[in-house]
Amino acid sequence: MSEIEIIVGVFAIYLILLTAVAVWSSKASSGMDGYFIAGKKLPFWVVAFSTNATGESGWLLLGLTGMAYSVGLHALWVVLGEVIGIALCWFLIARRLKVATDEYDSITVPDYLESRFNDTRHIIRIISVVIIVSMVLIYIAAQMIAAGKAFGEFMQISYVHGVILGAIVTSLYTVIGGYKAVAYTDVVQGVLMLLALILLPIIAFNEAGGWTVVMQSLGSIDPVLVQSFGEKGWSTAGFIAAASFLAIGLPFLGVPQVLVRFMSIDDQASVKKAGFISVACLFVFTFGAVMIGLAGRVLFPELTDPELIMPTLSRELFPPVITGILVVVLLAAIMSTVDSLLILLSSAITRDLVQKILRPQMTDRKLAIIGRLSTLLIGFLAVGIALSENRAIFWMVLFTWSGLGATFSPVVLCSLLWRGVNLKGAIAGMLGGFLVTVSWVLFIKERFYDMYEAIPGFIGGLLIIIMVSIVSRDKSESR
């Protein structure tokens, strides 16, 4: 058998497994509660792996590895930022959010916020839908771009065909099985990613001659690659660059696709166990990805597209069967995020727009059908965006990640930790955080050392919430 035939065979086996999980999950996803949040009955270990598989994606295996290939040890700040971010999310936010959303019987983040602030005019819900739709479409498109690159590199098909194939596969099993299928396939995908991100760096470093040789080789290629503060060194620009990489973990505190995992866990007491598993796995994920980039720069220093270093190492260092498995790992990383984003966007349209605002009397069964149809429509629209010329996965994901984080992180934090926040503050903070993020990218970022937009977005949103809540303090709007 040829290498491509073996890869296709391994991928086909994987698709059969995904289909089986989707069909098994379909019985539990006939209604809104089941389709969008698995009836809040997921065990802690499923939620732990699903959280990580959702937060890490083609951005991890293509984007972060490619970034480490380009900037060297400077990328380790991303590892630290992600680990701190997910740890704060689990141990500061998760249990409190689970308790509150159970109390309000919420199945989406806008559900919770609307109930928490007694927003009878649905202003928070409308803002949430508009921002989620705009940001998540771009986010999904970035994952479709990753799928196009991966399929093209491994299976020797065109980028366009790769994008379309990835979209079809992910959309179909998400439509069939709903959130439960997404969560359990995330476990399979997360375990595969974990194993690959342990095995591949070890083999790559061994092939390159070990840690000392890799560091010496990186230094000879470009001394900047072994400097922790990158090309800017110990300067204002260097510290801001490091802070920007650290801040990549900040949006974990509020992005809806992560928060919904906490809402779906079956038992409030299980949150801590899930948190320890999640934090440990995320460290392996991100550290392994950076190590792949470092070793890959030494082994293949002339790549024209750094984001293809993981597929290149997989093909060059392993026999076809293992390469086929690593292809599945890469595609699993992409699909584990796409499926969650499809569910998130579908829930925003179906639950937050149709059921709660446009058609409150519509039956649960009809709403579930709309949810499935909107999932397919979203996948189609994302493919259209992915077929454009912008194919920089790392920066596309960071922009949408920060936009969602700046919108929801400050308001979620305040809603759980500060009794003084009110409806006016929440609305102003959500709009302010989002607008600061977008404005920073469009008008300020290039003039301010390229500081990552999540920093001003989060700070701006938080300050606006506090100031507006204090100025407009109304006891009837606070708890």
**pLDDT for the residue numbered 10:** 82
CA 424-426-428 angle, 5° bins: 65
The model's pTM is 0.87
CA 304-381-14 angle, 5° bins: 65
**pLDDT for the residue numbered 30:** 60
Please give the Cα distance from 290 to 308 (Å, whole number): 14
Residue 317 corresponds to which tokens in the numbers above? 């260092």
Residue 100 corresponds to which tokens in the numbers above? 């509150």
User: 């994302």: which residue's tokens?
Assistant: 382
pLDDT in tens, 50-61: 888 777 766 788
The conformation of residue 118, written as its DSSP 8-state character, comes to: T
**pLDDT for the residue numbered 455:** 96
**pLDDT for the residue numbered 173:** 67
Contacts of 375 (CB under 8 A, 6+ apart): 171, 174, 175, 342, 343, 345, 346
CB atoms within 10 A of CB 156: 10
**Higher pLDDT, residue 385 or 49:** 49
Please give the Cα distance from 412 to 462 (Å, whole number): 10
**Do 328 and 310 form a contact (C-beta atoms < 8 A)?**
no
Phi, psi of 42 (to 5 degrees): -85, 135
pLDDT in tens, 360-380: 888 877 887 887 788 788 888
pLDDT in tens, 109-144: 999 999 999 999 999 999 999 999 888 888 888 778
- What residue spans of 27-75 are helical by DSSP H? 32-37, 44-55, 58, 65-71
Please give the Cα distance from 256 to 64 (Å, whole number): 22
Phi, psi of 265 (to 5 degrees): -65, 145
Q: Which fold has domain 3-477?
A: Sodium/glucose cotransporter (1.20.1730)
Taking CA atoms, 69 is separated from 276, 301, 302, 395, 465, in Å, by 29, 9, 11, 15, 39
Please give the Cα distance from 134 to 138 (Å, whole number): 7
Phi-psi region of 106 (alpha: psi -120 to 50; beta: other; left: phi over 0): beta
Say if residue 166's pLDDT is above 90: no
pLDDT category of residue 477 using cuts at 50, 70 and 90: very low
The conformation of residue 117, written as its DSSP 8-state character, comes to: T
pLDDT in tens, 67-126: 999 999 999 999 999 999 999 999 999 999 999 999 999 989 999 999 999 999 999 999
Phi, psi of 254 (to 5 degrees): -150, -5
Q: In a 3-state reduction of DSSP, which class is residue 72?
A: helix
pLDDT category of residue 478 using cuts at 50, 70 and 90: very low
Please give the Cα distance from 460 to 236 (Å, whole number): 21
Please give the Cα distance from 274 to 266 (Å, whole number): 11
Residue 365 corresponds to which tokens in the numbers above? 């069964």
Cα Rg of the chain, angstroms: 22
Q: Which amino acid is at 48?
A: A
Contacts of 389 (CB under 8 A, 6+ apart): none
16-20, 336-340, 412-416, 462-466: the lowest-pLDDT one: 336-340
pLDDT in tens, 337-349: 777 888 888 889 8
Domain-wise residue ranges, the chain: 3-477
**pLDDT for the residue numbered 8:** 80
**Do 142 and 299 form a contact (C-beta atoms < 8 A)?**
no
pLDDT in tens, 290-326: 999 999 999 999 898 898 899 899 889 988 888 888 8
Please give the Cα distance from 62 to 309 (Å, whole number): 7
**Do 455 and 81 form a contact (C-beta atoms < 8 A)?**
no
Please give the Cα distance from 10 to 215 (Å, whole number): 35
* Maximum separation of any 2 CA atoms in the chain, in Å: 72
**pLDDT for the residue numbered 475:** 53
